[in-house]
């Protein structure tokens, strides 16, 4: 029997193979992983996509080397989902599976077949050796494999992948000035966070002696991934207290729970529009409990690992069994969860991030997307997909409930509910006696310092009362610009079209896109001068300024914590900071958007948005929407307890009509104005938008002509089809990591027209034959930069 097999590694082709005759035809199934021989003796893993295929042509067809399981790991419905995604994204079946399957399920390295013999030591056979065994031995081994007397020996854990090197010491570091390799290690870990030993050895292969010195000095440590996860859990803030559903929560629960009944035969999609602090999490968990009682599995997805950990803690506090799944777990742990989901039928509650959507759960009855508006649910690198699309597809097929929750829904999501594409339920009041905070707009256009006088007064008043404050500035580092006083130029990254940010504690200039860094002080790259000054503010500078504000005050200087990407590089540090703030060990928390969602601090009565103008003028049709969501979510941290909250929003453009929506805290008035603007300018949801992004090395001489020819052909075909294509446009960030970046936008009334245009243009161009050119086809893009 001939079958088609999708290769799970480059080139991700679909190849035809013959099944070995010592296995019956009935043994093989769609979705089964198999080991297949390639050229030069290589053996790779593939997945069977079709059976009983016709032989095409008069050429030799190789035989499958060996099955990797006794029964198909992936069900036919799962394979159908992958096929649909492959067609949508114009990528091969194998590339999809190669991106979503845990790494241990895609390799033959160190894999053995173990055969048990009576009164003898088990025999071990390498996968690549099996085709060369005698016919008689292969037949005997196959019979034992079918009967369970021979099995695939599980992959031994590769400690280079399951042990991580993590930073323990905070900058500035106490090391010798000439300890260059130690400094390189510390800088690398500070920029990249914890890394596996394998990644470390690839990047810093000759630094083992320096690493050992740092470990001895307790500045760096090696920990197991499971230990890292336990460390993270130890520092989580306390779970929310248990309480019964209030009247509104109970009303919505009663409305939605019939969709979870075992007898339900219809799919349902619902938007839960609930203000911050309205009790969405409690409703999620009660619905999850109901689904599991009906023998249905549940996926509860969060945009970030930290929020997923907090949701798991809340679920466990209600004595609900939970499985955690996210991309930072060890390969062994991810494989274990994946196999359990595929092979067992008991209902499960999986809490995780977007990658959990691809777990092969049986009898899936409920998927919940918390903070559904968050861009983190869109993967825009590698395999492009949106969690919302996958979740909707799975629930349509499973006849289950797909619930999206947010205090600031995605404009497209809310519009769809207005058009009755699906149902909307609302929770517009906070639980208990808590009220939405008072909003105040403060003009800083004529202020020479970061904080206006009235902002400082409000902060001091908050601290004097023994309450807590959150200050948000969505820009990390000390200053975003280092300005040379002599030549009047800004120090920029040589690989990216972006300025270098100054980080004072580490005394470096860093590119936040490619990781390039220069130590400070260092000569200006343009004139050689050492006379440079930092301009602008980042969270590190805000932290310093707060200390200065209270130095000359009668109030005892409050403890200040900072939560941003720089301060949370060390494992468990983010949870440690949040836990310390929840326990009121500090009165002020400064941070970026990391602190804007999912956190519950009852003693926070003041939130300050230090520079609300950031992001509002980005070259992106969603700039206003993102700014509204970010500020509203951050403001939602104030007044969640018994005390009234206040939010101060600092801006240099006080007359901008945008602020009236923020001040009223009214999503609906913002939505109405924004939807009219999009309709006028023909942006989603009134049109389907796609982005084609091209990048190539800046010194490639042929790539510009190839890309221009591609876009000209695309525009011509678009004109013939009556749809709009922009042609080649430089990306807002024109160079990243030494690669020039261009993009082309397509607008059309439906996705099929856009896919047809792209598909019909590709075969006539040689753009994909140039290995230096990277082309990304992004349907409904969220990142325009």
Q: What is the pLDDT of residues 333-377, one digit of tens each?
A: 899 999 999 988 899 999 999 999 999 998 999 999 999 999 999
The angle at the Cα of 546, spanning 541 to 549, to the nearest 5 degrees, equals: 125
Q: Is the pLDDT of residue 766 over 70?
A: no
Q: pLDDT exceeding 90 applies to what percent of the chain?
A: 63
Q: Coil, strand, or helix at residue 491?
A: coil
Query: Is residue 451's pLDDT more than 60?
Result: yes
Separation of CA 696 from chain center? 25
Structure tokens at 258: 């019939």
Q: What burial class does residue 57 get, using C-beta atoms within 10 Å of its C-beta: 0-12 exposed, 13-18 middle, 19+ buried?
A: exposed
The predicted pLDDT at position 239 comes to 62
- Return d(Cα 54, Cα 63) in angstroms, integer: 15
Q: How far apart are CA 694 and CA 126, in angstroms?
A: 43
Angle of CA points 317, 323, 326, to nearest 5°: 115
pLDDT tens string 105-160? 998 887 888 888 777 788 888 888 888 889 899 999 999 999 888 888 876 666 66
Residue 236 clears pLDDT 60, i.e. is over it: no
- Residue 281, C-beta contacts closer than 8 angstroms, at least 6 positions apart: 240, 311, 314, 370
pLDDT at site 765: 55
Largest separation between any pair of C-alpha atoms in the chain: 91
Specify the DSSP element, H or E, that contains 694: strand 688-697
Residue written as token pair 């200053």:
479
State the pLDDT at residue 472.
Answer: 95
pLDDT higher than threshold 60 for residue 234: no
Least confident of 125-129, 426-430, 609-613: 125-129
Pairing assessment for the beta strands 501-503 and 508-510 based on DSSP bridges = antiparallel
3-class DSSP state for residue 586? Answer: coil
In 116-246, beta strands by DSSP E: 123-126, 150-153, 163-167, 195-196, 220-224
Q: How far apart are CA 587 and CA 603, in angstroms?
A: 9
Go through the chain and tell me how many residues it has.
785
| pLDDT for residue 60 | 84
Query: Would you state the pLDDT for residue 231?
Result: 47
Which residue would you say has higher pLDDT here, 60 or 629? Answer: 629
Query: What confidence category does residue 7 fall into, taking pLDDT thresholds of 50, 70 and 90?
Result: very high
Q: How far apart are CA 611 and CA 445, in angstroms?
A: 11
Q: In the predicted model, what is the mean pLDDT of residues 429-442?
A: 87
pLDDT, averaged across the chain = 89
Cβ atoms within 10 A of the Cβ of 492, count?
A: 18
**Is the Cβ–Cβ distance between 778 and 90 less than 8 Å?**
no
Dist CA 711 CA 559 (whole Å): 56
Provide mean pLDDT across the span 571-587: 87
- CA-wise closest residue to 375 among 622, 635, 678: 622
pLDDT for the residue numbered 553: 67
Q: How confident is the model over 625-654, as a mean pLDDT? A: 91
Q: Is the pLDDT of residue 428 over 50?
A: yes
Residue with tokens 């936008």: 745
Confidence grade of residue 497 (pLDDT, cut at 50, 70, 90): confident
Q: Worst-scoring range by mean pLDDT, 153-162, 287-296, 443-452?
A: 153-162
Question: Per-residue confidence at 296, pLDDT binned at 50, 70, 90?
Answer: very high
Q: Where are the alpha helices (DSSP H) in 722-764?
A: 751-761
Alpha-carbon distance of 765 to 767, in angstroms, equals 5
Instruction: Put the strands of the sheet holding 66-67 in their side by side order.
Output: 14-18, 2-7, 43-53, 33-37, 66-67
For residues 166 and 158, what is the distance between their CA atoms, to the nearest angstrom? Answer: 18
pLDDT(445) > 50? yes
Output the CA–CA distances (angstroms, integers) from residue 327 to 2, 116, 341, 575, 693, in the order listed: 36, 36, 16, 18, 26
Question: Token digits for 649?
Answer: 């929003």
CB 270 within 8 A of CB 400: no
Q: Are 729 and 737 in contact (CB under 8 A)?
A: no
Query: Sign of the CA dihedral 262, 266, 267, 270?
Result: negative
Greater confidence (101 vs 163) lies with 101
Sheet with 560-563: strands ordered across: 438-443, 646-651, 604-609, 468-472, 588-591, 560-563
Q: At residue 660, does pLDDT exceed 90? A: yes
Distance, in Å, from the CA atom of 666 to the CA atom of 754, rounded to the nearest integer, reads 36
Q: Which residues pair with 533 in a beta bridge?
A: 483
Q: How confident is the model at residue 230 (pLDDT cuts 50, 70, 90)?
A: low
User: Among 762, 614, 542, which residue's Cα sits nearest to residue 90?
Assistant: 762
Residue 4 confidence (pLDDT):
95
Task: With a cut of 60, say whether residue 6 has pLDDT above it.
Answer: yes
Q: Report residue 72's pLDDT band, with 50, 70 and 90 as the boundaries.
A: very high
Per DSSP, which regions of 70-209 are E strands?
112-115, 123-126, 150-153, 163-167, 195-196
Q: Torsions phi, psi of 630, nearest 5?
A: -65, -50
pLDDT reading at 448 higher than 60 = yes
Round to whole Å and give the CA distance between 757 and 270.
33
pLDDT at site 570: 74
- The pairing of beta strand 481-484 with beta strand 560-563: unpaired
Average pLDDT rounded to a whole number, residues 441-460: 93
Q: Assess whether pLDDT exceeds 90 at residue 309.
A: no
pLDDT per residue over 717-759, tens digit each?
999 999 999 989 999 999 999 999 999 999 999 999 999 999 8
CA–CA distance from 377 to each of 73, 93, 214, 327, 531 (Å)?
26, 22, 37, 13, 44
Predicted pLDDT at 59? 78
Buried-state track 9-37, b at ≥16 Cβ within 10 A, e below 16: eeebeebbbebbebbeeebbbbbbbbbbb
């Amino acid at each position: 029997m001939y079958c088609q097999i999708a290769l799970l590694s480059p080139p991700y082709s679909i190849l035809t193979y013959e099944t070995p005759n010592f296995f019956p035809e009935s043994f093989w199934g769609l979705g089964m992983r198999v080991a297949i021989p390639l050229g030069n003796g290589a053996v790779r893993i593939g997945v069977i996509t079709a059976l009983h295929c016709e032989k095409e042509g008069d050429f030799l067809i190789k035989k499958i080397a060996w099955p990797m399981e006794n029964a198909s790991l992936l069900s036919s419905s799962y394979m159908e989902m992958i096929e649909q995604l492959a067609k949508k994204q114009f990528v091969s079946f194998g590339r999809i599976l190669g991106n979503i399957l845990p790494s241990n399920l895609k390799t033959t390295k160190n894999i053995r077949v173990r055969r048990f013999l009576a009164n003898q030591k088990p025999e071990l056979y390498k996968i690549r050796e099996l085709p060369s065994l005698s016919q008689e031995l292969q037949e005997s081994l196959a019979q034992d494999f079918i009967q369970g007397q021979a099995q695939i020996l599980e992959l031994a854990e590769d400690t280079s992948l399951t042990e991580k090197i993590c930073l323990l010491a905070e900058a500035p570091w106490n090391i010798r000035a000439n300890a260059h390799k130690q400094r390189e290690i510390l800088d690398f870990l500070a920029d990249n966070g914890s890394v596996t030993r394998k990644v470390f050895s690839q990047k810093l292969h000759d630094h083992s002696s320096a690493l050992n010195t740092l470990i001895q000095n307790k500045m760096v440590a090696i920990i197991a991934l499971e230990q890292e996860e336990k460390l993270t859990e130890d520092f989580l803030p306390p779970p929310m207290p248990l309480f019964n559903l209030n009247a509104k929560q109970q009303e919505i629960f009663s409305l939605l729970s019939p969709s979870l009944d075992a007898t339900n035969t219809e799919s349902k999609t619902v938007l839960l529009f609930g203000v911050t602090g309205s009790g969405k999490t409690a409703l999620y968990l009660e619905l999850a409990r109901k689904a599991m009682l009906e023998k249905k599995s549940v996926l509860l997805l969060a945009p970030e690992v930290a929020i997923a950990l907090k949701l798991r803690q809340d679920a466990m506090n209600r004595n609900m069994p939970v499985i955690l799944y996210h991309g930072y777990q060890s390969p062994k742990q991810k494989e274990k969860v994946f196999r359990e989901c595929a092979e067992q039928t008991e209902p499960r509650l999986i809490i995780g991030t977007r990658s959990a959507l691809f777990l092969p759960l049986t009898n899936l009855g409920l998927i919940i997307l918390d903070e559904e508006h968050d861009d983190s649910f869109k993967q825009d690198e590698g395999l492009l997909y949106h969690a919302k699309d996958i979740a909707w597809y799975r629930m349509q097929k499973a006849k289950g409930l797909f619930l999206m929750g947010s205090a600031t829904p995605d404009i497209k999501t809310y519009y769809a509910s207005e058009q009755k594409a699906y149902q909307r339920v609302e929770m517009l009041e906070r639980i208990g006696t808590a009220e939405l905070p008072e909003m105040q707009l403060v003009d800083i256009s004529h202020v020479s310092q970061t904080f206006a006088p009235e902002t400082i007064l409000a902060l001091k008043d908050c601290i004097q009362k023994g309450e807590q404050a959150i200050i948000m500035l969505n820009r990390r580092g000390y200053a975003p610009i280092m300005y040379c006083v002599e030549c009047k130029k800004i120090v920029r990254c040589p690989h990216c079209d972006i300025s270098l940010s100054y980080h004072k504690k580490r005394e470096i200039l860093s590119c936040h896109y490619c990781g390039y860094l220069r130590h400070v002080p260092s000569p200006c790259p343009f004139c050689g001068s050492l006379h440079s000054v930092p301009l602008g503010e980042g969270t590190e500078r805000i932290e310093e300024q707060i200390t200065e504000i209270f130095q000359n005050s009668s109030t005892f200087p409050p403890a200040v914590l900072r939560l941003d990407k720089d301060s949370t590089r060390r494992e468990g540090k983010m949870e440690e900071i949040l836990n310390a703030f929840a326990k009121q060990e500090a009165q002020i928390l400064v941070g970026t958007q990391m602190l804007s969602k999912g956190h519950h601090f009852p003693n926070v009565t003041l939130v300050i948005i230090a520079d609300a103008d950031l992001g509002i003028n980005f070259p992106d049709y969603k700039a206003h929407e993102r700014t509204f969501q970010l500020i509203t979510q951050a403001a939602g941290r104030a007044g969640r307890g018994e005390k009234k909250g206040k939010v101060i929003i600092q801006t240099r453009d006080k007359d901008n009509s945008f602020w009236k929506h923020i001040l009223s805290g009214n999503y609906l008035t913002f939505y109405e104005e924004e939807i009219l603007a999009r309709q006028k300018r023909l942006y989603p949801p009134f049109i389907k938008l796609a982005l084609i992004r091209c990048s190539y090395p800046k010194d490639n001489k042929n790539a510009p002509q190839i890309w221009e020819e591609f876009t000209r052909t695309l525009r011509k075909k678009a004109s013939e089809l009556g749809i709009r294509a922009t042609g080649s446009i430089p990306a807002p960030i024109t160079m990243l990591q030494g690669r020039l970046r261009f993009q082309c936008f397509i607008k059309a009334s439906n996705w099929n027209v856009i896919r047809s245009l792209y598909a019909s243009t590709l075969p006539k161009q040689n753009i994909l034959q140039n290995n230096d050119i990277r082309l990304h086809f992004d349907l409904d893009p969220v990142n325009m930069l």
